[in-house]
Copies of this chain bind each other. A is one copy, B any other.
Amino acid sequence: MSKFTLAIVAGASAAVGAATTAAIYGMGGSRRQTPNEATTITTPTTITTPSATRTSVERPVPGIRHDDPNIPGPIIPPVDPAGIFQYGFPGPVNDLRSATSLTSAFDRAKRNPHWVAEHITPASLLLRNGDRRHSYFAEDPAIPEKFRAKLTDYARSGYDRGHQVPAADAKWSQEAMDSTFWLSNMCPQVGDGFNRDYWAHFEDFCRRLTSFYPSVRIVTGPLYLPKRDVDGKWRVSYEVIGHPPNVAVPTHFYKIIFAEDGKAGGNVSLGAFVLPNDVIHNDKPLKDFEVPVEAVERASGLEFVGLLPPARRRRLCQEVNCSVIVREYAERQRAIMTPPPGQKGGSPGTALAQRIVQALVFSAIWRHLM
């Protein structure tokens, strides 16, 4: 399929989320050489410094501007653009955060994380020292106030405070679980049909990987993807919630999964998925959302596997059956989501209560080819 053919796969719906991502970002890299790259390559092997070809009289005196075009050699810059740093480094600052349960970087312009990394193992998931009912959503005081997402920004927004690293992955200590409840680990997520449903099943899929791999790392984050508009132009369009409007509602979310074989310098099975921040039917195959890692890199401006040699890379979905298992999740979520007094905990009421719990197991058999 050509780049152009892929590029016309439009839209950001559940049906075409992965295809769009791949179409827009995955295939774009025509590797033509720019004039500048060519210049770099043709750097002469014999380098003559300017001072070696001029007499001491011709050499510009530091601090004295040399603006006579008849005198060869470099001009002493009359300005100092980097002097702006005397007023502070403009940024962006990533607010790199390292907690027991996660490591993350924050996007101050959108008041969402750029990415949140976690690590789970068979042993860590067996521990049950933390209880979600004792954790509370909280603004992150490590982020400067004017760039911080607020609890009030989410209130009555219609969106869940969607964990990027799930609380359920950090049950090994209460402190670890608590540290997943900072708003710097949240993005506005569609609740019913996504955060409380398909996305939750997807998180469960990640945990199940520890049945096959001794160590699993997951990087999760938001995306803001363009789609083709009625006028044929591509546009990024996303809601902004809060008072004033300042927290971006991502159009999509990604997870990059690193399933490690547990050996030093061993194999790493990679899976990259992009899901729309929208209702996804439970019968939608997870594999429909699989994309090349590079597609997420191009879309997010991030790099996830720069130091992982290609020889160590495997494809996760060739080793395990990449599909979600729909369990009685809605019931469990309803119990969990009931907010303590004074806390908003989503709107799990009527719509969710009236749902028929889907207990069908769409894919109970896992292939494990290791």
By a beta-carbon cutoff of 8 Å, the part of chain A in contact with chain B is 3, 6-7, 23-25, 27-31, 34-37, 40, 65, 67, 69, 74-75, 77-94, 98-103, 105, 107-110, 114-115, 117-121, 123-124, 127, 129, 136, 138-141, 145-147, 150-152, 172-173, 175-176, 217, 219, 224, 226, 233-246, 248, 258, 268, 294, 297-308
Bound complex: CA A100 to CA B79 (Å): 8
Chain B residues near A145 (CB, 8 Å)?
29, 31
Instruction: Determine if B35 and A138 form an interchain contact, defined as CB atoms under 8 angstroms apart.
Output: yes
Given contacts A31-B145, A219-B84, A307-B87, contact A176 B235 (CB under 8 A): no
Chain B residues near A248 (CB, 8 Å)?
236
Instruction: Determine if A27 and B244 form an interchain contact, defined as CB atoms under 8 angstroms apart.
Output: yes
Taking the closest CB of chain B, its distance from the CB of A258, in whole angstroms, is: 7
Instruction: Determine if B238 and A146 form an interchain contact, defined as CB atoms under 8 angstroms apart.
Output: no
Most buried by B among A89, A123, A129, A299: A89
* A82 partner, pick from B103, B147, B238, B306, beta carbons under 8 A: B103
25 residue pairs bridging A and B, Cβ less than 8 Å apart: A3-B244, A34-B139, A36-B138, A36-B139, A37-B141, A67-B127, A69-B129, A74-B175, A78-B127, A79-B124, A80-B119, A81-B100, A81-B101, A81-B217, A84-B119, A84-B258, A85-B103, A87-B306, A89-B303, A92-B105, A92-B301, A92-B302, A93-B303, A235-B240, A236-B237
Bound complex: CA A24 to CA B243 (Å): 8
Instruction: Determine if B306 and A88 form an interchain contact, defined as CB atoms under 8 angstroms apart.
Output: yes
Chain B residues near A118 (CB, 8 Å)?
79, 81
Q: Which 6 A-B pairs have the closest CB atoms?
A: A109-B301, A108-B301, A88-B306, A234-B245, A79-B119, A88-B307
Bound complex: CA A10 to CA B281 (Å): 36
Chain B residues near A129 (CB, 8 Å)?
67, 69, 75
Bound complex: CA A161 to CA B259 (Å): 43
Taking the closest CB of chain B, its distance from the CB of A291, in whole angstroms, is: 14
Chain B residues near A80 (CB, 8 Å)?
119
Bound complex: CA A300 to CA B19 (Å): 30
Taking the closest CB of chain B, its distance from the CB of A8, in whole angstroms, is: 10
Given contacts A109-B301, A119-B81, A217-B84, contact A237 B240 (CB under 8 A): no
**CB nearest neighbor in B for A78:** B124
Given A36-B140, A77-B173, A82-B103, 19 additional A-B pairs, CB 8 A: A3-B243, A3-B244, A6-B244, A35-B136, A78-B172, A81-B118, A81-B217, A82-B98, A84-B258, A87-B258, A88-B304, A90-B114, A90-B115, A90-B219, A91-B105, A91-B302, A107-B301, A109-B224, A226-B240
Bound complex: CA A305 to CA B150 (Å): 24
Instruction: Determine if A78 and B28 form an interchain contact, defined as CB atoms under 8 angstroms apart.
Output: no
Instruction: Determine if A81 and B98 form an interchain contact, defined as CB atoms under 8 angstroms apart.
Output: yes
Given contacts A7-B244, A79-B120, A146-B28, contact A109 B299 (CB under 8 A): yes
Chain B residues near A89 (CB, 8 Å)?
303, 306
Bound complex: CA A124 to CA B114 (Å): 40
Instruction: Determine if B67 and A244 form an interchain contact, defined as CB atoms under 8 angstroms apart.
Output: no
Taking the closest CB of chain B, its distance from the CB of A159, in whole angstroms, is: 11
